Amino acid sequence: MSTETTYGFDTLQIHAGSQPDPATGARQTPIYQTTAYVFRDADHAAALFNLQEVGFIYSRLTNPTVAVLQERVATLEGGVGAVCCSSGHAAQIMALFPLMGPGKNVVVSTRLYGGTVTQFSQTIKRFGWSATFVDFDDTDAVKAAIDDNTRALFCESIANPGGYITDIPAIAGIADEAGVPLIVDNTSATPYLCRPIELGATLVVHSLTKYLTGNGTVTGGVVVDSGSFDWTASDKFPSLSEPEPAYHGLKFAETFGPLAFTFHGIAVGLRDLGMTLNPQAAHYTLMGMETLSLRMERHVENAEKIATWLEGHDAVEAVTYAGLKSSPYYDRMAVVCPKGAGALFTLALKGGYEACMKFVDALEIFSHVANLGDTRSLVIHSASTTHRQLTPEQQEAAGAAPNVVRLSIGIEDADDLIADLDRALKKASG
């Protein structure tokens, strides 16, 4: 594809990063199922290991199939580069790894996926890191939570499970003022609905497992680098601004400029953490992304119709979908997610916890699984599953109270989904 032409999203989701295979002419990106790559000669090998030349060494670091996926996601997000890894959780650690150190902290939204809350509140303590949880709708509280040891802010564009939309421009402004990067998890929105980098984010992470693949076959993650952050503006980020002993004093920011974070993610992050995405998973995700815009349009169309219907149901206490005019996030959608509020939201049932259990068990088309972003419609009771490890207060803050069920609306016939929900709600309400 010509680098001098500006292409639309629908074209880029199919073509970005890929060319016909030079060896065979294969039009679909091949699965390069190989561990290692033959060097041209001894000088070529030395140049690769010294980061003096870009190429393939060993598939823990780089792989041609994965490289296409990295370039495609980076292009769709408006970033300069990306690093793929083994899961969305791995992507979060990969994003923080070059930024953090013992005694440092990250300020994070209270409205996050339950596994992320656990990772940030418990697991990262083992690295000597810590997280401060704040309601990101309260910008004064966000500012107050930042201290001299803060190294990043973290939020979700469309928060899981409630579907709440974060005011990314406002949070990005706070991050800029503090001189720290903003990391946005864009899994629930995808770059089709939301472009966090254009709104001020420094880094974007995804669980490839969800909408980008779209068919429930893959676990994977990716970190996208905006290339816009000056890692040398302070002494806060020595991994990127100071000499790297493992590469004979090379300074990533000085050597690679806007791609410093991306190269560090591969040359240090994947090298030492080893959270590698396998090439077959990358291939599945590439195929899924070819229809991303078409799927997201249908996801949103169905979600809007179903959420509107649910809001008027006698057994339903509340619906959190930001695409409803009754939502406090409806006006924010026009700025952050102009093409729609996604297809993830919750509903609170008047019958409480017991009604939720009956409702989940009575559904037929909706699959009861711990996943989201599939072409199939999915349901889960977050308080007893994905958010089970959290305290009741954390569950409430995350939008996963005991009387709440999360829906991930698929691309089936909306009327069939409504009929399925109606039958289940009637059974749940007795």
Domain definitions of the chain by residue range: 9-99+181-288, 292-428
In this predicted structure, what is the pLDDT of residue 2? Answer: 58
Where do we find the tokens 């560090």?
264
In this predicted structure, what is the pLDDT of residue 371? Answer: 93
Whether this prediction's pTM lies above 0.75 is answered by yes
What radius of gyration, in Å, describes the C-alpha atoms of the chain? 22
CA distance 393 to 316: 22
Please tell us whether the domain made up of 9-99+181-288 is placed in CATH 3.40.640.10: yes
Instruction: Residue 374: name the closest of 196, 187, 185 by CA.
Output: 187
Quick check: 171 and 153 in contact, CB under 8 A? yes
Going 198 to 199 to 203 to 209, the CA torsion angle's sign is negative
Using one digit for the tens of pLDDT, what is the confidence trace for 372-408?
999 999 999 988 877 777 788 777 777 778 899 999 9
Q: Is the peptide bond before 328 cis (omega within 30 degrees of 0)?
A: no
User: How many Å is the maximal CA-CA distance in the chain?
Assistant: 75
**In the β-sheet with 105-109, what is the strand arrangement from edge to edge?**
81-85, 221-225, 203-207, 182-185, 150-156, 105-109, 130-134
In this predicted structure, what is the pLDDT of residue 3? Answer: 60
In this predicted structure, what is the pLDDT of residue 264? Answer: 98
CA distance 6 to 2: 9
Q: Which residues, in sequence order, are CB contacts of 269 under 8 Å at separation 6+? A: 83, 85, 94, 97, 98, 275
In this predicted structure, what is the pLDDT of residue 397? Answer: 74
| Burial of 300 (C-beta count, 10 Å sphere; 0-12/13-18/19+) | buried
**Domains 9-99+181-288 and 292-428 belong to one CATH topology:** no
Q: CATH top-level class for 292-428?
A: alpha beta
Rounded percentage of the chain residues whose pLDDT exceeds 90: 91
In this predicted structure, what is the pLDDT of residue 4? Answer: 64
- Low-confidence residues of the chain: pLDDT under 70: 1-4
